[in-house]
Amino acid sequence: MALYPPPGARDENAMDATEPLLQRSDSPEQLQPHTRSSKHVLARLYVSHFLSTWNSRMFEFGAILFLASIFQDTLLYASVYALARSLSAVVLSSWLGSRMDHSDRLVTIRRSIIWQRLPVVLSCACFVVLLVPSLMGNKFVTWGLFAAVLLLACVEKLAAIANTVAVERDWAIIVSDSLAIQRQDLNASMRQIDLFCKLLAPLMVSLIDSLSTSIAVWLVLAVNILCVFVEYVAIAQVYEAIPELRRVQRGLATNDGENGEDDFQPTSRAVQRSVVNRAARLLNHVAAPWREYIASPVFLASFSLSLLYLTVLSFGPTMVTFLLHTEYTSLQVSCMRVGSVIAELSGTWVAPFVMDKVGPIRSGLWFLNWQFTCLSAVAAAFALTDATSRLVLVGLIVGVALSRVGLWGFHLSAQFLIQEGVEEETRGQFSSTEMAVQNIFEMLSFATTIAFPLPEQFKYPVFISYGAIATAAICFAAYVRKERGHLLHMTRCLGGDKVPSPSQGLPGDF
């Protein structure tokens, strides 16, 4: 039984199975065989990505620990620090992405490496000074160094975004096509590296910090300095091995050079008009990436993925704090976090297999509905029972852990669709804008716990999070209907829009 498409929608039965839905730039004849040398290229790509992610995760978590040790009587400094990092991503990431689209790939990623490491080194130097007890009484020094740490954190955040966008949304596409490997497998491997670093990097720095904060600061500083050379060289070797990564640098189109006589007329009216025109051009320049993001054919898929960042239903700081306010110890919560990461890793292992069997659109729909279903019991438990009861807590832990399989399965499915649906010329801008949206929703998730700070009020952030997941499911369902013309086609639920191998064209039978 099928839900038939609306008038004008694409009918998959009427489409030629050989017609590609999304054209690939490389024909099968252009793809190189998967040889031993290609494994060396992948190894270097993984090493570079691992070092970048490991150092970013270690500093991100370590900086909060260092601020908590320095300013022990308040959470204000840590909160302002986290807020400033997120705001910098929201405001500047779209501009950064547009710059990346018009720059040499190797230059861009090398700059991102340097601008990740340099702020970390300087921030650690500031932390070392702030840890000196005799200087804490000097408010001028304290506030000055904290302001410097804030500025450096914003630079590091933007550089980390640039590195992530470049590697995961641009280089991964070209490398997989050039080496004739399954892109969903490459995406899954990159995500497994992310999750591994997400688990172990914070754990390592927290263990050292429990012994000595000063030693932890010096450790973060030393690791960043030692890794930068390896990362710098490894990514250059990938670039040299893949000729397709080279592109002609294109200049940025600007309106600053317009020959407007009004700008040079010595009248107050002309000056006024010039200021208004410049302001309008600036506003248009800022709004352009957002307009293009919304107009993209994969906007709904990207937006549904971004909505999942508006959540407290993960083993992040908010939910961990809630669990610590109940009957659980920090050791028990740490074990739960490990279990959650294992579930997340299993999602990255299952997703490529499911995508190969049923395709990225159906797999995304299935994984997102799995997450929605797992958390429905959690939302129901909070609605019907006391938030601190054992039944609710056990349901919360189990439901959230199981939902992570769906989260990362959906993440990989949506990432594949976005990689296919965004043109090479706008990948950086689109992905950076997407990250800005994700940071907005992440900030809103923090706002929910600011509005409802008490443990017994935790159910309200839970309901808001569940509503965001439901909205994401609706948005992705709308995307599925737009792409396929229907939501369900029972005769093809176990086949159809399969992910092609690199030696095949992308099928149009979605």
pLDDT-based confidence at residue 262 (cuts at 50, 70, 90): very low
Question: Among the listed ranges 18-32, 293-307, 333-347, 451-465, which one has the minimum average pLDDT value?
Answer: 18-32
**182: pLDDT strictly greater than 80:** yes
**465: pLDDT strictly greater than 80:** yes
Mean pLDDT along residues 294-302 = 93
Cα separation, 378 vs 464, in Å, equals: 12
| 428 touches 166 (CB < 8 A) | yes
Cα separation, 436 vs 430, in Å, equals: 10
Give me the percent of the chain exceeding a pLDDT of 70.
81
- Give just the sign of the alpha carbon dihedral 340, 341, 344, 349: negative
pLDDT-based confidence at residue 453 (cuts at 50, 70, 90): confident
pLDDT-based confidence at residue 490 (cuts at 50, 70, 90): low
**380: pLDDT strictly greater than 50:** yes
The 10s digit of each residue's pLDDT in 57-68 is 899 888 888 888
pLDDT top residue among 6 and 135: 135
pLDDT top residue among 425 and 264: 425
Return mean pLDDT, the chain.
81
What is the model's pLDDT at position 223? 93
The 10s digit of each residue's pLDDT in 96-149 is 888 888 888 889 999 999 999 999 999 999 999 998 877 766 788 888 999 999
What is the model's pLDDT at position 278? 72
- Give just the sign of the alpha carbon dihedral 320, 470, 370, 509: negative
- Domains of the chain (ranges plus CATH)? 36-249 (1.20.1250.20), 296-487 (1.20.1250.20)
Longest CA–CA separation in the chain, Å: 77
**257: pLDDT strictly greater than 90:** no
What is the model's pLDDT at position 270? 60
Mean pLDDT along residues 281-285 = 73
What is the model's pLDDT at position 1? 38
**N-to-C CA span, the chain:** 17
Taking each helix axis from N to C terminus, what angle separates 139-166 and 105-130, rounded to the nearest 10 degrees?
Answer: 160
Collapsed DSSP state (helix, strand, coil) of residue 489: strand
Collapsed DSSP state (helix, strand, coil) of residue 74: coil
Q: How far is CA 54 from CA 131, 265, 344, 373, in A?
A: 24, 56, 17, 32
Tokens (6 digits) for 171: 């280089």
Judge residue 269's burial from the number of C-beta atoms within 10 Å of its C-beta, 0-12 exposed, 13-18 middle, 19 or more buried: exposed
What is the model's pLDDT at position 27? 41
Judge residue 336's burial from the number of C-beta atoms within 10 Å of its C-beta, 0-12 exposed, 13-18 middle, 19 or more buried: buried
Collapsed DSSP state (helix, strand, coil) of residue 34: coil
Cα separation, 154 vs 144, in Å, equals: 16
The 10s digit of each residue's pLDDT in 217-254 is 999 999 999 998 999 899 999 999 988 888 654 444 44
